[in-house]
Structure 1
Amino acid sequence: MEKIKKILSFLWYFIILFLFMFLILVFIVESLPKEQANSSFASFMIFGISLILIYISYKIAHDKVYGSSITASKKDYNTKVNKDDIKNFECVKNAINMMVDKCKETKEEEIINNINKCVSSAKQPDKVIKKALYDYIQESLNDGLLDENEECIIASISKNYNIDLKDNSDLYNAKILYSIIVKHEIPNIELRGNVPVILGNNEVILYLKENVSLIKEVTRTKYVGGTDGFSIRIAKGLYYRKGAFKGERVKVSSKEVVDNGMFIISSKNLFFIGESEKKKIPIKSIITSEPFENGITIQKNGNAKPLTFYGIDSWFAHNLIINLPKI
């Protein structure tokens, strides 16, 4: 029944589109002089244009009803699966889902063999596997965590089919949060590059972001209601000047960007390394964490003023700050 509905929808779109374009063609022909319209060359051109209109109508109607291709769900994943490989794609997805909750118990060869069977008849097997893997990654990250079984499946497929996932920060972050929130342990990770901070024993870097703005609440004093004074003429060439006064002193607070630098969260501390500002804040001394889009505001214990950091993954940073003290 569903197939019949799609066929009828396709025919409806095709006929409407073709008639619309054909009417435009008739209008153009009617506007031509009779001598040109009746020439053999004009007839040949009309026939050629009609064929083109039929193809365009078919293509638009087909894509409207059936879709031209399946695209990856994440913007960065531009992998597309050809419409001829859709069945192979669904087969690979089913093969992956069969491994859920038992990846470590199943031999890696079994997973790969099942996938190879699915793509044996595919025109573009590499794209089919990539698309299925990317979709699985997105589904796994719906809760923001990556458990050991999900990690096992992703690692097995990416390793055997040479799919590079090193630049996928979502996977990295989800793996860290799973270790901290669920397993209650610091993940064993290695951060690349030079880190300009001295770490303590068993302290590891969990998050690093450059070009982050440090925003502070700055208090300045100004005077309200003051005057520079004024002069009163008493006689010719003689003036009396009434003295100036500053007025009432008022303190005004505002939030300002005071520095830009590197923002780091380790397993024990939060660091900010800027040109003029250098900060090291123990995670356990942070009493509030308020995330917002691309930023976070923290409050230390005591009478310290709030600090705001802008230009970071606020969701990930907030989860690190509130969950690390629980380990």
Structure 2
Amino acid sequence: MIRKVCVDAALRGVDVNILTDKVRSIGAAAYIDTSGAALGETLARGWGQAVEAAMDDHFLSNEEKRALNRYRVQHNLSADHLDGSGHFTLFRMMNLLNALSEHGVAPRFDRRQVRPPFNLMKSEELLWMFGGTDYLEEVTKREFRGGSLGVSFRVAKGVYIRPGAFRGRSVATSSMQHTDSGILGITTKHIYFKGNRKSFRVRLEKIVSFDPYRDGLGIMRDTARAKPEVFRMGETDAWFLVNIIDAVMSMDSVRLPKAGDPTLDEIVDGGLA
């Protein structure tokens, strides 16, 4: 019951002004501690559950965004507090998708907070970086099987037999192998990867196919000798990466931000609401 009233208040603004009284009343009836710090934890948990509910349709509307912001401001819930279980990061992700798909705007990346390890082009904007990304690529190994001529046995003077003689053949086997780990960046034009051994970028328009997985994304480049490549990451990150690419490639054109345009954090706080 507490979950429902918190989600309704955070996502739809239902009884938001009397929410704390309702939570205390429900808690008292169910012998749940809702006093002091426990109330703050309950409200924060309710906000996170509301973000999860908004994610059910993979879309954050402007109304939902305003309601979620109003809830966290009204109850003095900090970003660090709300991100204890990753919900504020999820909220930021959904705000980025909202800015791209609803407003056609790429937020200005704030390089004062994080310096990207990529040599970006002037005609693109960095949208997000994913740490702890595994890079896998198809590796083909060849081995020579067979080729034994058997063993010669003497059966009489000057007479030998050689059973089991046969020719060998080359056999190729392919498998996906983890070749590096590092940071993946997604911009308005490219996928970047920076690892300990490999660093590269792939233009989105030069990718023939995308293969979403529960915990990653597979790609096939538009080259004659292309082989499957996979970026492996957490489930939420994989979902987000696929949706960013879809949002960018669905846009007729992406307006790059200028100096003074809002950053993602400013958009989260209501910059495009």
Q: Same fold (TM over 0.5)?
A: yes
Q: Deviations over 1:27-50 (max 9, x none)?
A: xxxxxxxxxxxxxxxxxxxxxxxx
1:182 matched to 2:182: no
Q: In 2, Cα distance between the equivalents of 1:98 and 1:254?
A: 49
Contact 1:289 1:321 in 2 (8 A): no
Query: Which of the numbers 250, 257, 264 marks the counterpart of 1:326?
Result: 250
What's the counterpart of residue 45 of structure 1? none
1:305 equivalent in alignment to 2:222: no
1: CA distance between counterparts of 2:160 and 2:110?
78
Query: CA 1:267 to 1:225, structure 2 compared with 1: closer, same or farther past 3 Å?
Result: same
Q: 1:131-150, aligned counterparts within 5 Å?
A: 131-150=45-64
What whole-Å deviation, never above 9, does each CA across 1:132-159 have from its counterpart, x for those lacking one?
A: 4334323222222223322222223323
> Which residue of structure 2 aligns with residue 208 of structure 1?
129
**Distance of 1:118 and 1:322 partners within structure 2:** 41
* Corresponding residue for residue 151 of structure 2: 230
The equivalent of 2:208 in structure 1 is 287
Give, in whole Å, the separation in 2 of the partners of 1:221 and 1:306.
18
Counterpart-to-counterpart distance in 2, 1:276 and 1:239 = 60
Read off the aligned partner of 1:274 and give its amino acid letter.
Answer: G
CA contact 1:95–1:114 (8 Å) conserved in 2: no
SS in 2 for 1:190: coil
> Aligned partners of 2:238, 2:46: CA distance in 1, in Å?
29
3-state DSSP of counterpart to 1:163: coil
1:23 aligned residue: none
Contact 1:213 1:311 in 2 (8 A): yes
Q: CA 1:114 to 1:206, structure 2 compared with 1: closer, same or farther past 3 Å?
A: same
* Deviation sequence 1:53-97 (CA, Å, 0-9, x none): xxxxxxxxxxxxxxxx85x6xxxxxxxxxxxxxxxx84x666556
Verify the 8 A CA contact 2:152 2:161 in the aligned structure 1. Answer: yes
Letter of the structure 1 residue corresponding to residue 107 of structure 2: P
1:1-327 equivalences under 5 Å are 70=2, 90=5, 99=13, 123-124=35-36, 125-127=39-41, 129-166=43-80, 167=83, 168-190=88-110, 192-201=113-122, 203-227=124-148, 230-233=151-154, 247-303=168-224, 304-312=226-234, 313-327=237-251
Report the structure, 1 or 2, having the larger helix content. 1
SS of residue paired to 1:181: helix
Partner of 2:259: none
- How much has 1:247 moved relative to structure 2? 1.6
How far does residue 123 in structure 1 lie from its aligned partner after superposition? 4.2
Structure 1 position 269, deviation (Å):
0.9
1:91-144: CA deviation from partner (whole Å, max 9, x where unpaired): x666556648xxxxxxxxxx9755577679874553454344334323222222
Structure with more relative contact order (C-alpha pairs < 8 Å, separation 6 or more) = 2
Conserved in 1, the CA contact under 8 Å of 2:135 and 2:180? yes
Residue 197 of structure 1, CA deviation: 0.4
Q: Which amino acid aligns with 1:155?
A: N
Tell whether the 8 Å contact from 2:100 to 2:247 is kept in structure 1 after alignment: yes
1:275-310 CA deviation, whole Å, 9 max, x = no partner? 222120011222211111211111122321121111
In 2, the alpha carbon distance for the partners of 1:182 and 1:112 equals: 26
Percent identity among equivalent residues? 23
Q: Deviations over 1:178-221 (max 9, x none)?
A: 22223233234537433210122253333322232211111222
- CA shift in 2, pair 1:279/1:245, >3 Å: farther
- RMSD across aligned C-alpha pairs, in angstroms? 3.6
Maintained 8 Å contact 1:212/1:311: yes
What is the DSSP-based 3-state SS (H/G/I as helix, E as strand, rest coil) of the residue aligned with 2:184? strand
Q: In structure 2, how many angstroms separate the alpha carbons of the residues matched to 1:323 and 1:239?
A: 78
TM (normalized to structure 1)? 0.58
